[in-house]
Amino acid sequence: MTNKFRYFIANWKMYGNLNSLKSINNVIKFTKSNSKKRFKLIYCPPYTLLSAFCAKLQKSSISVGAQNCHEKNEHGAFTGSVNAQMIKNLGVKYVILGHSENRINGDTDDIINKKIKSALNQKLTVIFCIGETLYQRNNKGTNKIIKKQIIKGLKGLKKNSKIIIAYEPVWSIGTGIIPKNYELEKNIKFINSIILKNTKLKKFRILYGGSVNPKNIENLNTISMIDGYLIGGASQDPKKLIDIIKKSYN
Ligand code: PEP
């Protein structure tokens, strides 16, 4: 197996409390003793744990990301919201935007575009999620929806904007079902070509997300176009997360 650089992004969703911080001790040890391996691990806990994660991971190579942010740059009367400035202020370096679980809750492509610009403005790196639903896939609508999400979501971005793409078929998230290799290859190629044709971005990595686990990781790693993974469920179990990374380099 090659020593390819890969991202591993741990999306904890709405899970975790201060006690869960102990659970990452072994992951920290693992990254320290595997510092020669070319990977970047990023923990994205809920807002309530961002500060604690930043403090705990300060001396490690692991970074911290938020799972969302508000589209407004400035502060204001937006009860329950957190903006990119507030996230940045904690020492957070990344933010996940466009996740399907937030698209379902009202994040349109235009709102996501505003959030991306606001996050980039604060020098956060954006993990931009795109992907089709099962209905869209079954009705041969995958390319159309992905193209729309990219064109609208990345509209007006500068050439060097720090964007990581996470291709996450919605029907794969939390279901245990992943696309066949040929389908993933085809869709990732398509994503790459649409970004190059329709945006100013030249340098970006494309990750896969959806039910990644220690059982399917070796197969996924055979797809050379995948630059890493956005991992939900399995990332909350330190053993599984370590196993996923280990199996990517052994
Ligand atoms: C996700 O939260 O983006 C995700 C891919 O979840 P899971 O790995 O649980 O499918």
Tokens of 44: 């994205």
Å from CA of 33 to ligand 1 middle: 27
Does the pLDDT at position 45 exceed 60? yes
pLDDT of residue 42: 98
Does the pLDDT at position 111 exceed 70? yes
Residue 212 CA: which ligand 1 atom is closest? 8
Note the pLDDT tens digit of each residue in 80-97: 999 999 999 999 999 999
What backbone torsions phi and psi does residue 169 show, to the nearest 5 degrees? -60, 125
Å from CA of 187 to ligand 1 middle: 18
What is the average pLDDT across 12-20?
96
Angle at 196 between CA 190 and CA 199, to 5 degrees: 120
Å from CA of 31 to ligand 1 middle: 22
101 part of the active site: no
Strand partners, 65: 94
- Domains of the chain, first to last: 6-21+43-75+82-247 (3.20.20.70)
What is the average pLDDT across 19-35?
94
Among protein residues, the one whose CA lies closest to atom 5 of ligand 1: 210
CB of 31 closer than 6 A to ligand 1? no
Distances (CA, A) of 220 to 7, 85, 234: 13, 35, 15
pLDDT of residue 198: 98
70 part of the active site: no
- The kind and range of the H/E element at 166 are strand 163-167
pLDDT of residue 36: 81
pLDDT of residue 234: 98
Given pLDDT bands bounded at 50, 70 and 90, which one contains residue 2?
A: low
Please state whether the predicted TM-score (pTM) of the whole model is above 0.95. yes
